Structure formats: structure tokens, C-alpha cells
Chains A and B, each alone.
Chain A
Amino acid sequence: MDRIVGQKSALLWAVHISVILLVLVWVFPTIGLFVSSFRTSDQISSSGWWSALSTQERSVPAIRVAGDERQDGNLYVVEGELFPDTEANVTAWGTSSRRPTEFQPGDTAELKDGWRLTVSATGTYRLTSPQSVEGERLPRIFSTAASPPEFTLGNYRNVLFSSTAAAGVGQAFINTLTVAIPATVIPILVAAFAAYALAWMQFPGRALLIAAIVGLLVVPLQLALIPLLQLHNAVGIGKGYLGVWLAHTGFGLPLAIYLLRNYMVGLPRDIIESAKVDGATDFEIFVKIVLPLSFPALASFAIFQFLWTWNDLLVALVFLGTDDDTLVLTGRLVNLLGSRGGDWEILATSAFVSIVVPLMVFFAMQKYLVRGLLAGSVKGG
């Protein structure tokens, strides 16, 4: 056994490093989104999120000298600030677009007509002239500004609560919840009864039904869109929440029945048979014994269905429509990608709002999710 141990430790450091690399690659994209959602729009568009913690240097678009003129001795003076709203330091400046970094902060530039311009490191400027500059075209200042790292919750406030075009994300969040919760709860009971019948009741055609459900598991729901939309219109449901709930219920049932049946078949036979001997009906056995024992499988399915309905785009677009007041988060995100493709502070924040709930569910209930996956796939093959 020495040799085995020896071999393992020789390779172990390579394994550790590989796993660290793999994990970093897999987590990196999500972290990028997370960090970006806390940055100001200036900072997002001027530097990569990975440099969010370092001082940001950016070239500021030209700012024209402006302000009230006052007289100081025999000089006329115009004073002002380049960055009245933000905290930034000037690292270099210039007065022409060809040489935007000509001067250091504190330097004085000699301009035409005896004008002299000084820009300090903090961004205040002072223009002096021997004669009045009233009505003259004042010079422009090109500057390179360094601003400290800046993080803000403003993006979230903006996206969730403001009434601008970026908003609607708060509304979409509520819409998504409204779609996901009933669509998760309703199929469970329907599927549980059917799964019990398929697992523990004897009747002709049972094997055929199970095979049919395995087949329906992979039927693309793309096929269901138009016929069901026609059906919903014909019976008067039209486009709306009821239609989405029903559609999600129908589409979720094969997996639900399949998962639950696989689990229920594995329950100990003695318990169920001794209950039968004691005179319990199937209904009582199901409600009092099988349902409570199947809790892990019910939880697995509930997580699957919740993640699926929360993250779904197609079913919601088709059965709920694309109106602003019924749009779900995924639909809202697609719209934002179209209309605000460059506004990363809005996109990143909205995207993070949309993935935070599934992520919380995922980390809280991971055990059941894994169990469900294993029951659904390994046994299926």
C-alpha cells in the first residue's frame, strides 16, 4: 500500500492546482457580473471590472472653461472646477486634442492674447487675462483624471425602484415570482398521486404508461406552443398567468411523475403491505405513509421545477406575452440587451437581480438537487 500512497501524494499538488484553476475559470464570469453591478457607470465603461479595486485613470472629454469673470487688480479672472460632482485627481492636462497630456497639474499654460491657464491637481482651474474675456471663445481643457475605486448601491436602487426605462425590473421580479410559485406547487400533488399508482398499484397497461412518460420526458416543448396557444384562446384563457401556470404544470409533469415513481418504488415493501393487511385503503396509504416518506423526492422536484420556471423564457414569452406589466425577468433582460446593450451598470444589476433567487435556492437546497439529478438520470439509463 505504500506505493499507492506515494503515487497519490506525488500527484496531489497537481490535482490541487488544476482544481483551483478550474474553479476560478468557472466562477470568474459570475464574479465579473457581481462586481460590475456595484460600480458606477463611469467606472464600468472606462475600465475592466478586474481593476475595480485600483485607482482608475481615464481621459476626460474636453471641458470648456466657463464661469463668471471677475477683476483681480489689472487681471480678469475666470475660475471653476472640472469635476464639481466627483472626487478625482488630475494627473495630466492639455488645451488641445492633439496633446491632451501636455501639462502637469499646477503648470501654467501660456495661451493667445496673454491668457494664462492653470489647472490644479484637485481639478480647479484659473484663467487670467489682461483684458476682459466677455463674449470670447474660452479654451477647452483636456484632462486625465484618476479617481479612487468607487462602489455604489445606486444601480440596484435605480433598477428596482426608479420609474425610468431601466425600471420594470422590480415589476418583472414580482411577475416572475407570480409565475414560478404556483407553477411549482400545482404539479406536485397531481404527479404524486399518479406516481403512487404507477409504483404500487397493479393494473393492466402500467408498464406501457411508464414507458410513455419516459418518452414524454424529452418531447421538445417547442411543439406545444402554437397548438396550446390556440387551445387557450379557444377556451377563453388567452394569454395570462393562468395559461402559464397550466403550461408549466403540463410540461413539468413527466419529470415529476418519473422522479417520484422512481423514489416511491424504492420504499420498503413491508410497510405498505402491512398497512394493507391492516385494512388501509390505497388513499390512506398514500396520504399517511407514502407521501411523508417521499419528502426528499418531492423536494428535489420542487427545486427543479422552481429553477426551471424561474429561469424560463420561452413559455413565459408565448403564454404570458411581452407587455411591460407581465414581462418576466428573463424577458426583461432580453429587452434590455436589445435597448441598453452598452449600459453595463443596468444590465449587470438586472441580471444579478434575476439570478440571486435561484442561486440562493441552489445553495440552500443543493443536497436535494443533486439527489434528484441522480435519481432522474442514472436510473433513467
Chain B
Amino acid sequence: MHPALAGIVTIIVGVGGCIGYFYFSNLFIDKILFPAKGPNISRNINRANMIRPWLFLFPALFALGLYLAYPVFATFWLSLTDRDAGGAFVGFDNYSQMMTEPKFWEAIRNNMLWLIVVPAMSTAFGLLAAQLTDRITWGNFAKSLIFMPMAISFVGASVIWKLIYDTRPEGQDQIGVLNAIWLYFGGEPQTWLTITPWNNFLLMLVLIWIQTGFAMVILSAALRGVPEDTVEAAIIDGANPFQIFFKIKIPQIMGTIVVVWTTITIVVLKVFDIVLAMTNGQWETQVLANYMYDKLFRAFDWGVGSASAMIIMLLVSPILVWNVYNARKEMR
């Protein structure tokens, strides 16, 4: 069967199956299991209402459990076993093996750099863009152009930026903007992506370019939510625009800034496509997610691959706990 046709069939089966499941399971408990009639009518209605939420939730919980919760434990188990030894339990051998690899430490070091630079720069640029565009008439148009890279895939963005970093031999016209500018100021053509450690920052630039729009949209909504009277009071007290921005507005949107920061942090921890497409971890640009992909699908070393995946999980955990804590606080 042609894949596109299979896709249409899957949509029909998937959606139809869902509707069918929800409709008939409701029908079943209402009419057959606990019919709302006869001598036990009120008991039946109560019981039906106790079961119904789980009917509604079941497909989602099943999929979540199978596709997200179970793999966390399965990966942890894989990280403690050795595939070559037939899946024998080896304790923390994979972890200690990983710790001896210089590539792993390179990935950790680069990831830390990414974690500091990308969220900071994206949030800063986003804040700047939000504050500036809110004050002009064509702000919404400007916003949608800055926001646009959000729609572009990491791989597509990598191609776009690789053109910017492109290098031609000396004597030829440079077709990469960066080298063209560099030459204009009297430099010699550089192969930018091979220069450590600066190549890391050139890769980060791609993600900053993508994530700034996200930060801008959210921070701009937060800035609009700052109560007008606090700003007016500051103006009456003689505050200048910079003081208003840094001392009045920023403190009031601090909560949102933290949310933006943590959201981008999670994106950074999972970043893989950009490094794969631009350098594939060569020239000391390896990051954890690409290291893991290398181990899993090029070296087929599932033990160490899973161990590095667990490291990513470990790094995400504080944010996970923080988010859950906040969500629970908000629900109360």
C-alpha cells in the first residue's frame, strides 16, 4: 500500500477508533453495566460516574505510560546492562566506561556552555525585542518577522547558517557573509566551524536565532500585563525609561522570565539536530544528545548510549520537579 494512502487509512482508523471507543464504552457502562433504571438506580449512576473518568483517560494514560514513562525505567535498566554480553547486568560499568571517554567530558563541557549562553542570550534578546516592539506602531509586523525562525526546523536553520559561515579559498570571492565581513576588515578567510572553541558559539547562534522569537512573544505578553499604575507612579517620581524598565517592569515579570529560561534550557539539553547537521561533533563541538545518538546508532553501544541518556534525564530533573511543584501550587 502506498504510504500516503496508508496515512489516510490510519487517520480514519485512528480517529474512528477513538470515537468508537469513547462512544461504545460510555454506552456500555450506561446501558448494560450500570443501567440508570430499576431498583439500584442511584447506586448505578454513582458507580458509572466513578468509572467514567477512567474511560476518558484510559487511551491517553496508556499511550503516556507506554511511550514516556516506561522508557525512562527501561532506559535506566539498559544503562545497567551490556548488550554484547547478552544483556547481562553489569552495574554501573557503562557509566564508569563513559566517564573515561574524553568525548563524553567534551560533550558535558560544551553542554554546560550551551546551558549558560543560549537561554541567557535568547531571553535577553527576546526581552529587548519585546520591550522595543511594544512601543511602535509596526511592532506586530516586526514581531512576526523575529518570531518566524520558530517555524524553521533545526536542520533547515543549520543549512541557512552554514551558508553564512561558508568559506572559499583565498583569492576567490567569499560567498559566506561572515567571511565577507571579515575580509572587508582586512582578515584572511577562515573556516569558522573548525576553530575551537569559537565554533561552539557559532552553533549556539543558530539556536539563539530560533529561540529569541519564543522568548519575545511570551515576555511581550508579560510586559503588557505589568500594571499601568506602577509605571505611572515611577514616572511621577522622576524615573527615566531605563529605570522604569529595569527597576519597575523586570522585577514584576521575573516569574515569566524564569519560565522562559527553563523552557529554553530544556530545548538546549535536547539539542541534537544542529550539531549533527553542522559539525557532527567534530572539532570539539560534541554535545550530550549527539554523543548519545553516536553511541546508540553508530557504535550500537546501547549500554553507554542509555547511560548518557540518563545523564540528560538527570540534568532535566530539577526543572521537572520545579515545574511540577509550581503546577501544584497553582492548582491549590
CB-CB under 8 A for A194 and B175, given A254-B64, A311-B154, A311-B156:
no
Q: Is there contact, CB below 8 Å, between A374 and B221?
A: yes
Binds A, one of B91-99, B114-122, B195-203, B212-220: B212-220
Is B90 located at the chain interface by the 8 A CB criterion? no
How far apart are A185's CB and chain B's nearest CB, in angstroms? Answer: 5
Q: Is there contact, CB below 8 Å, between B146 and A22?
A: yes
Q: Kindly report which residue of chain B lies nearest to residue A17, judged by CB atoms.
A: B132
Complex CA gap A312/B152 in Å reads: 10
Is B164 located at the chain interface by the 8 A CB criterion? yes
How far apart are B25's CB and chain A's nearest CB, in angstroms? Answer: 9
Interface of A is mostly: helix
Contacts of A26 in B (CB 8 A): 145-146, 148-149, 209, 212-213
Q: Is there contact, CB below 8 Å, between B173 and A227?
A: no
CB-CB under 8 A for A186 and B10, given A32-B164, A311-B154:
yes
Q: Is there contact, CB below 8 Å, between A226 and B78?
A: yes
Is A213 located at the chain interface by the 8 A CB criterion? yes
Contacts of A40 in B (CB 8 A): none
**How big is chain B's contact interface, by range?**
35 or more
Q: Kindly report which residue of chain A lies nearest to residue B5, judged by CB atoms.
A: A178
CB-CB under 8 A for A29 and B161, given A15-B136, A181-B11:
yes
Q: Is there contact, CB below 8 Å, between A196 and B276?
A: no
Provide the B136-163 mask, 1 if CB < 8 A to any CB of A, else 0: 1001001011111111111110111111
Is A36 located at the chain interface by the 8 A CB criterion? yes
Q: Is there contact, CB below 8 Å, between B160 and A330?
A: no
Complex CA gap A189/B18 in Å reads: 7
Contacts of B60 in A (CB 8 A): 190-191, 193-194, 253, 257
Is A225 located at the chain interface by the 8 A CB criterion? yes
Q: Is there contact, CB below 8 Å, between B68 and A251?
A: yes
Contacts of A217 in B (CB 8 A): 323
Is B74 located at the chain interface by the 8 A CB criterion? yes
Interface of B is mostly: helix
**How big is chain A's contact interface, by range?**
35 or more
Binds B, one of A64-72, A105-113, A355-363: A355-363
How far apart are B280's CB and chain A's nearest CB, in angstroms? Answer: 8
Q: Kindly report which residue of chain A lies nearest to residue B18, judged by CB atoms.
A: A189
CB-CB under 8 A for A29 and B160, given A219-B316, A359-B148:
yes
Contacts of B148 in A (CB 8 A): 26-27, 30, 359, 362-363
Additional A-B contact list (5), CB under 8 Å, known A254-B64, A344-B166, A381-B323: A22-B129, A49-B175, A189-B18, A209-B61, A283-B26
Which B residues are within 8 Å of any A CB, using their own CB? Answer: 3-4, 6-7, 10-11, 14-15, 18-19, 22-23, 26, 30, 49-50, 52-54, 56-57, 59-61, 63-64, 66-72, 74-75, 78, 125, 128-129, 132-133, 135-136, 139, 142, 144-156, 158-164, 166, 168, 172-177, 180, 209, 212-214, 217-218, 221-222, 235, 240-241, 255-256, 258-260, 262-263, 266, 269-270, 272-273, 276-278, 289, 292-293, 296-297, 302, 305-306, 309-310, 312-313, 316, 319-320, 323-324, 326-328, 330-331
Which A residues are within 8 Å of any B CB, using their own CB? Answer: 3-4, 7-8, 11-12, 15-16, 18-19, 22-23, 26-30, 32-33, 36, 44-50, 58, 174-175, 177-178, 181-182, 185-186, 189-191, 193-194, 196-198, 201-203, 206-207, 209-211, 213-228, 230-231, 241-242, 245-247, 249-251, 253-254, 257, 281-283, 286, 307, 310-314, 317-318, 326, 329-330, 333-334, 337, 344, 347-348, 350-351, 354-355, 358-359, 361-363, 366, 369-370, 373-374, 377-381
